[in-house]
């Protein structure tokens, strides 16, 4: 077989066989196939798509590309949550400790920023000392000790996805339903969680912008999970506007800490309770969703979820003094207010555009392996449907220099639509796929 033949077959709209996909993924993992050919194949997939059989075969090939973790000797049943990626999405930082503190161990592998969206690992690494790159032995030790571990995908686990994820980030090949489904589910299957809840984001701040695409992605991933014997459900949630107020790595950690300490934004809390209660029911921890919500509300209110987060971060090397005093998180030297050019109603917020701004400010990568500035980002001061006066603050830009903030003003003003008509704000939870 030759990689170029696989690329041409996909470019011309064909379906790769299971053997061809196994060969391609094996070759890429082993280094026999290089980034240039994989990037060309990924672009062909973006443009031509994949059928369900191909997507499932790709997922299994990627899940089998490395070690497959089994932590049943430590925790008889583990749960996991994964998002398809959205703007301001710090949900994992809250849901994981929330469900762990409620008696559901979480063994989680997460990603770094991807395209215009941030990643859980980049966010956690804004805490000085935090180590996300754990060996399998360290991953198991933290899980045994804390009942909760969030690590970067280890080099041994789904290495094909690890390489492909970083390649897609910088080659414009993120926005593909089959590639997203295979990327997420290969990691989830290899990391061994028994129960999986998927947060499928839909809207301007997500990779799936229509409900029809979000439904297809959710159904594809739930089917792959079930086929592999995992209890799997999905929540389709709105990304018509960013989640919470903060966008950017350290800013999002600050907001997650505030949420765990009982002062979070209502949309973030609602999404966390919804995702957490799906896990509580899937895992059998609670009989129904009402009981699950009550348990999780109590876990948040008692401070148990905050203690679980703190325990995990400290077990992974994070500085407890920073957690206890989050103003010590990295902060940008320049904070510049962006004000409304006219009075009106906030009718649309283009989340992807805001994500691109954060990347350009230094919060994301422009090439594989680039270093990022954890401190930069945006603090949104308005929401969809808000009525604002001319000159009212729309957001605060957190930037490394006054010039980099100023350069983004036109893009930011473009990302916020101010009109005269009232708007119908979509519900946060759009659908459940159980």
From 71, 109, 157, 180, residue interacting with ligand URA (rule: CB under 6 A): 180
Whose CA is closest to 260, among 330, 324, 321? 324
**Interface region with ligand URA, contact rule CB under 6 A, candidates 37-45, 179-187, 342-350, 353-361:** 179-187
* In the complex, least distance from residue 297 CB atom to ligand URA, rounded to whole angstroms: 28
Output 102 or 193, the one with its CB closest to ligand URA: 193
Query: DSSP letters of 70-135?
Result: --TTT-SS-EEEEE--BTT--HHHHHHHHHHHTT--EEEEE---BTTB--HHHHHTTSTT------
Query: DSSP letters of 8-70?
Result: HHHHTT----HHHHHHHHHHHHHTSS-HHHHHHHHHHHHHH---HHHHHHHHHHHHTTSB---
**Interface region with ligand URA, contact rule CB under 6 A, candidates 67-75, 176-184, 219-227, 254-262:** 176-184
Q: How many CB atoms lie within 10 A of CB 432?
A: 14
Measured distance CA(71)–CA(78) in Å, rounded: 8
Which residues from 181-210 bind ligand URA, rule CB under 6 A?
183-184
Output 335 or 368, the one with its CB closest to ligand URA: 368
Catalytic: 168? yes
* In the complex, least distance from residue 165 CB atom to ligand URA, rounded to whole angstroms: 6
Rounded (10°) CA dihedral 34, 36, 41, 42 = 100
Catalytic: 335? no
Output 58 or 332, the one with its CB closest to ligand URA: 58
* In the complex, least distance from residue 89 CB atom to ligand URA, rounded to whole angstroms: 10
| Among 161, 169, 199, 373, the one annotated catalytic | 161
From 84, 126, 274, 350, residue interacting with ligand URA (rule: CB under 6 A): 84
Residue 315 tokens read as 């077990």
* In the complex, least distance from residue 164 CB atom to ligand URA, rounded to whole angstroms: 9
* In the complex, least distance from residue 286 CB atom to ligand URA, rounded to whole angstroms: 27
Tokens 């999404």 belong to residue: 271
Contact criterion met (CB below 8 Å) for 291 and 252: no
What three-state secondary structure class fits 178? helix
> Which single residue brings its beta carbon nearest to ligand URA?
183
118 touching ligand URA, by CB under 6 A: no
Strand bridging mode 195-202 / 416-419:
unpaired
E strand or H helix at 2, and its extent? none
Catalytic: 366? no
From 111, 118, 248, 264, residue interacting with ligand URA (rule: CB under 6 A): 111
Catalytic: 310? no
* In the complex, least distance from residue 185 CB atom to ligand URA, rounded to whole angstroms: 9
In the complex, the residues that contact ligand URA under the rule CB under 6 A are 84-85, 111, 114, 165, 179-180, 183-184
Catalogue the active-site residues. 82, 161, 168, 183, 187
């Amino acid at each position: 077989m030759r990689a170029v033949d696989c690329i041409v077959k996909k470019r011309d709209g064909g379906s790769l066989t299971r053997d061809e996909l196994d060969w391609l993924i094996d070759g890429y993992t082993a280094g026999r196939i290089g980034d240039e050919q994989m990037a060309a194949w990924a672009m062909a997939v973006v443009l031509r798509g994949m059928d369900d059989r191909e997507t499932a075969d790709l997922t299994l090939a990627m899940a089998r590309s490395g070690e497959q973790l089994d932590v049943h000797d430590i925790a008889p049943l583990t749960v996991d949550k994964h998002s398809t990626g959205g703007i301001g999405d710090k949900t994992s930082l809250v849901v994981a400790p929330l469900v762990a503190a409620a008696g559901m161990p979480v063994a989680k592998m997460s990603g770094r920023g991807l395209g215009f969206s941030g990643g859980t690992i980049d966010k956690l690494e804004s805490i000085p000392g935090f180590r996300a790159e754990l060996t399998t032995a360290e991953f198991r030790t933290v899980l045994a000790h804390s009942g909760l571990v969030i690590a970067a995908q280890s080099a041994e686990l789904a290495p094909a996805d690890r390489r492909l994820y970083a390649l897609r980030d910088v080659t414009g090949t993120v926005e593909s339903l089959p590639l997203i489904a295979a990327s997420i589910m290969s990691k989830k299957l290899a990391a061994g969680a028994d129960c999986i809840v998927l947060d499928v984001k839909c809207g301007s701040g997500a990779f799936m912008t229509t409900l029809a695409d979000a439904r297809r992605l959710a159904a594809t991933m739930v089917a792959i999970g079930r086929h592999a014997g995992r209890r799997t459900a999905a929540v389709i949630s709105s990304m018509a506007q960013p989640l919470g107020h903060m966008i950017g790595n350290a800013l999002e950690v600050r907001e997650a800490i505030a949420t765990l300490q009982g002062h979070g934004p209502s949309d973030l809390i609602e999404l966390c309770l919804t995702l957490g209660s799906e896990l509580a029911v899937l895992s059998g921890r609670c009989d129904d969703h009402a009981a699950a919500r009550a348990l999780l509300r109590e876990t948040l209110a008692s401070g148990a979820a905050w203690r679980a987060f703190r325990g995990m971060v400290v077990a992974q090397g994070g500085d407890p003094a920073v957690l206890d005093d989050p103003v010590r998180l990295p902060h940008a030297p320049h904070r510049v207010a962006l004000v409304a050019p006219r009075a009106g109603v906030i009718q649309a917020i283009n989340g992807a555009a805001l994500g691109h701004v954060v990347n350009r400010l230094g919060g994301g990568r422009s090439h594989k392996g680039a270093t990022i500035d954890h401190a930069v980002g945006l603090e949104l001061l308005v929401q969809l449907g808000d009525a604002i006066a001319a000159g009212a603050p729309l957001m605060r830009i957190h930037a490394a220099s006054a010039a980099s903030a100023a350069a983004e003003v036109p893009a930011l003003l473009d990302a916020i639509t101010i009109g005269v008509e009232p708007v119908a704000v979509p519900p946060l939870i759009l659908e459940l796929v159980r």
